[in-house]
């Protein structure tokens, strides 16, 4: 019999209790993993916006609660383009519209000259011409989910557009949405003369970090975002996702630890006499400690595996909802599972600490007389 075998035996003696504890912790881990996958995917989708047109970084309104609320004047956009260290500055207006059953249809208003200077990869048709009021380019995903192709027409917020081209960028928001001329988007959003963000490509040889710092210095009303980590600067949504994620993890740890503590405390309590016997035949306090902590760790690691599996299934299930599918592509990155594992280990250690301490403190004779 190995030490590990002994631990498994100890856990197996109260199958129902062990099973229910594992179930409880698994559900906690499921929440942590599923939430991690979904927020991670949302952030990565959000991060894709930064790369629009292959820019180095994005400039948005300082302190805007959400990127969609960000407003940058076209003058500022031109001023940015005129900077000596900037190669190209493209202002774009984002507008979220309902199209068909999709309430998150992403309409991007772009200037024809920007499209011409930096054309998207087309899978069909052509780009729209300057001042083509009723022409639209559709992302490949949008075209296929709407079931339309070049020459067909689509209705976006009561405006009829004819589809002139289909593009593919590999970025979820854009491929699930449409490009319309900037003026059209400004009219749809009732935001004349402004854009949501400006995408900056620096001159060759310039350091994007230095350029971004220079822009923030010269335009106190603007904020530069180079990576998803900085997204919180303008997007409360991302900040809230992070905070919610952390809160759920802390909650999962707290609830899980109490559950494990309850289970382990009961199990130690029931085995008082046996622990006395182990002490009497020479087991050290350290070995008793190792036994209890190992039992707790095994419980939680099994839960981590089960919870991760359930978490993946849960995200798959959520993706059956159309709306969600248009917003995110699930990303099962290792860090989400590592977080689940860390939660499990913390739960195991926190939950076992007190029962193990009690077990070690038992005097052998006291324990042996316990009925």
Ligand X SMILES: Nc1ncnc2c1ncn2[C@@H]1O[C@H](COP(=O)(O)OP(=O)(O)O)[C@@H](O)[C@H]1O
Structure-token match 């999962």, residue found: 252
- State yes or no: residue 1 binds another protein (CB under 8 A): yes
DSSP state of 129: P
Query: Residue 132 — left, alpha, or beta (φ > 0 → left; ψ -120 to 50 → alpha)?
Result: beta
Binding to ligand X by CB under 6 A, coded x per residue (else -) over 336-365, reads: -----------------------------x
Q: How far apart are the first and last CA of the chain?
A: 27
- Separation between Cα atoms, residue 36 and residue 27, nearest integer Å: 14
| Nearest distance in Å: CB 291, ligand X | 25
- Residues in Cβ contact with 306 at an 8 Å cutoff, skipping those fewer than 6 apart: 22, 26, 29
The minimum distance between CB 276 and ligand X, in angstroms, equals: 11
Cβ proximity to ligand X, 8 vs 365, nearer residue: 365
Please state the closest distance from residue 23 (CB atom) to another protein, in A. Answer: 23
Task: Tell me the residue nearest to ligand X as measured from the CB.
Answer: 369
Q: Pick between residue 7 and residue 52 the one whose CB is nearest to another protein.
A: 7
CB nearer another protein, residue 201 or residue 294: 294
DSSP E strands in 114-238: the ranges are 122-125, 135-139, 153-156, 159-167, 178-181, 194-195, 197-202, 222-225
CB of 293 to another protein, least distance (A): 16
Q: Which is nearer to another protein, 243 or 280 (CB)?
A: 280
Q: Which does 3 bind (CB under 5 to 8 A by kind): another protein, ligand X, none?
A: another protein
Cβ burial, residue 208 (10 Å; 0-12/13-18/19+): middle
Structure tokens of 207?
Answer: 């350091």
What is the smallest separation between the CB atom of 1 and another protein, expressed in angstroms? 5
Binding status of residue 369 toward ligand X by CB under 6 A = yes
**Shortest Å distance, C-beta 366 to ligand X:** 7
Report what 237 binds from another protein, ligand X, none; CB cut-off 5-8 Å by kind. none
Q: What's 66-124 look like in SS3? A: CHHHCCEEHHHHHHHHCCCCEEEEEEEEEEEEEECCEEEEEEEEECHHHHHHCCCCEEE
Number of H helices, E strands in the chain: 14, 12
Q: Which two tokens stand for residue 58?
A: 């994005």
DSSP-derived letter for residue 247 is H
Residue choice 117, 213, 246, 365 for contact with another protein (CB under 8 A): 365
263-302 footprint of another protein as x/- string (CB under 8 A): -----------x--xxxxxxxxx-x---------------
- Where along the sequence are the contacts to another protein (CB under 8 A)? 1-3, 6, 9-10, 13, 274, 277-285, 287, 363-365, 368
- Where along the sequence are the contacts to ligand X (CB under 6 A)? 365, 369
């Amino acid at each position: 019999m190995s030490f590990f075998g002994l631990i498994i035996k100890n856990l197996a003696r109260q199958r129902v209790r062990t099973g229910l504890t594992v179930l409880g912790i698994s559900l906690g881990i499921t929440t942590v993993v599923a939430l991690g996958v979904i927020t991670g995917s949302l952030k990565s989708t959000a991060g894709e916006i930064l790369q629009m047109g292959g820019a180095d970084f994005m400039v948005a309104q300082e302190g805007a609660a959400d990127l969609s609320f960000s407003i940058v004047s076209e003058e500022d956009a031109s001023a940015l383009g005129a900077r000596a260290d900037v190669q190209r500055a493209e202002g774009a207006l984002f507008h979220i519209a309902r199209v068909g059953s999709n309430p998150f249809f992403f309409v991007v208003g772009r200037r024809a000259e920007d499209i011409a200077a930096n054309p998207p990869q087309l899978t069909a048709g052509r780009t729209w011409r300057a001042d083509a009021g009723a022409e639209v380019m559709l992302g490949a995903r949008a075209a296929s989910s709407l079931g339309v192709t070049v020459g067909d027409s689509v209705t976006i917020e009561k405006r009829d557009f004819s589809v002139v081209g289909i593009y593919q960028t590999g970025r979820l928001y854009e491929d699930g949405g449409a490009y319309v001329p900037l003026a059209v988007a400004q009219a749809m959003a009732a935001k004349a003369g402004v854009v949501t963000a400006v995408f900056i490509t620096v001159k060759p040889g310039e350091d994007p970090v230095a350029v971004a710092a220079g822009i923030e210095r010269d335009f106190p009303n603007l904020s530069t975002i180079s990576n998803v980590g900085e997204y919180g600067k303008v997007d409360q949504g991302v900040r809230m996702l992070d905070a919610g994620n952390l809160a759920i993890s802390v909650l999962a740890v707290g609830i899980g630890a109490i559950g494990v503590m309850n289970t382990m405390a009961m199990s130690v309590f029931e085995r008082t006499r046996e622990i006395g016997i182990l002490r009497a035949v020479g087991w050290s306090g350290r070995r008793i400690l190792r036994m209890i902590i190992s039992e707790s760790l095994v419980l939680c690691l099994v839960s981590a595996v089960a919870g991760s599996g359930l978490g993946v299934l849960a995200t798959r299930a959520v993706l059956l909802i159309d709306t969600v599918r248009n917003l995110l592509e699930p990303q099962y990155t290792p860090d989400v599972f590592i977080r689940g594992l860390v939660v499990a280990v913390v739960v195991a250690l926190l939950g076992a600490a007190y029962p193990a301490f009690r077990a070690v403190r038992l005097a052998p004779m006291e324990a042996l007389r316990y009925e």
